[in-house]
């Protein structure tokens, strides 16, 4: 698999969601490593590096592909997970058994499922 095109994904998300795009991070849940690909300017001061690290590490531990597939073992391979919160929405796209990307959108952002997942994968060129 070629390396995902995160720049194209972020550009598409910024164009389509503007200020509703909060942050984007790629992750590897086996090594508990991640790279922030985008963070909205105002959140750079609102969310400290430690807070963002805690959020991403917890999501990798609890919302990993392995865990989701263990819970829903009868449904096959997990491709994505959408978690809607009171103040935001998190979209986890699983790219491989180990890697993925988290897209955090503000409250009120609207997506169409599964089209949004497919659009993101198209931009990632995977």
Can you list the domains of the chain with their CATH numbers?
A: 6-124 (3.30.450.30)
The rounded distance, in Å, linking the Cα atoms of 67 and 51 is 23
User: What DSSP designation does 78 have?
Assistant: -
Instruction: Output the pLDDT for position 91.
Output: 97
Instruction: Output the pLDDT for position 60.
Output: 81
Instruction: Output the pLDDT for position 52.
Output: 79
Instruction: Output the pLDDT for position 1.
Output: 67
Output the CA–CA distances (angstroms, integers) from residue 115 to 44, 58, 66, 68, in the order listed: 30, 27, 23, 21
What stretches in the chain show pLDDT beneath 50? none
Instruction: Output the pLDDT for position 126.
Output: 84
């Amino acid at each position: 698999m070629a390396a995902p095109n995160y720049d194209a994904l972020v550009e598409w998300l910024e164009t389509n969601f503007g200020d509703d795009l909060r942050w984007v991070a790629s992750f590897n849940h086996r090594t508990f490593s991640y790279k922030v690909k985008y963070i909205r300017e105002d959140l750079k001061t609102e969310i400290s590096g430690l807070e963002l690290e805690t959020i991403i590490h917890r999501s990798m531990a609890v919302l990993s592909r392995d865990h989701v597939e263990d819970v829903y073992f009868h449904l096959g391979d997990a491709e994505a997970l959408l978690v809607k919160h009171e103040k935001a929405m998190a979209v986890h796209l699983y790219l491989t058994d180990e890697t993925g990307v988290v897209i955090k959108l503000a409250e009120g952002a609207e997506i169409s499922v599964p089209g949004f997942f497919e659009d993101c994968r198209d931009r990632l060129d995977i």
